[in-house]
């Protein structure tokens, strides 16, 4: 296996990781930012409110996009296991 092939495998790994983790992290970021702005405007600084909103938004994204994200991760894993014979040489 050449260095270029190894770099290509790592690049694909990071693309899949960002594809799978991106929507969940983005939902948490947007929910946290919205709650933070709302808490700053109303001066209600309760940590549990932010936590509950973030957990709810992450769960909603996982319910909505979970099957697609898992399918993408499983396809990558299957492709990686199938490519072991080419990588080991």
Give 51-61 pLDDT, tens digit per residue.
999 999 999 99
Q: Tokens 């970021």 correspond to what residue?
A: 29
Q: Which two structure tokens, joined as six digits, stand for 36?
A: 């933070």
Nearest to 30 by CA among 3, 59, 53, 47: 53
**pTM (2 d.p.):** 0.79
Reported in sequence order, the residue ranges of 1-89 that DSSP labels E, i.e. its strands, are: none
Q: pLDDT of the chain along its 89 residues, tens only?
A: 677 877 888 899 999 999 999 999 999 999 999 999 999 999 888 888 889 999 999 999 999 999 999 999 999 999 888 888 877 76
Q: Tokens 């990558």 correspond to what residue?
A: 76
């Amino acid at each position: 296996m050449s260095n270029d092939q190894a770099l290509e495998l790592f690049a694909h790994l990071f693309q899949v990781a960002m594809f799978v983790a991106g929507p969940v992290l983005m939902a948490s970021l947007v929910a946290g930012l919205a709650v933070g702005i709302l808490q700053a405007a109303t001066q209600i600084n309760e940590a549990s409110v932010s936590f509950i909103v973030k957990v709810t938004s992450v769960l909603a994204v996982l319910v909505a996009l979970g099957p697609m994200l898992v399918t993408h991760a499983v396809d990558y894993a299957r492709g990686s296991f199938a490519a072991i014979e080419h990588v080991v040489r």
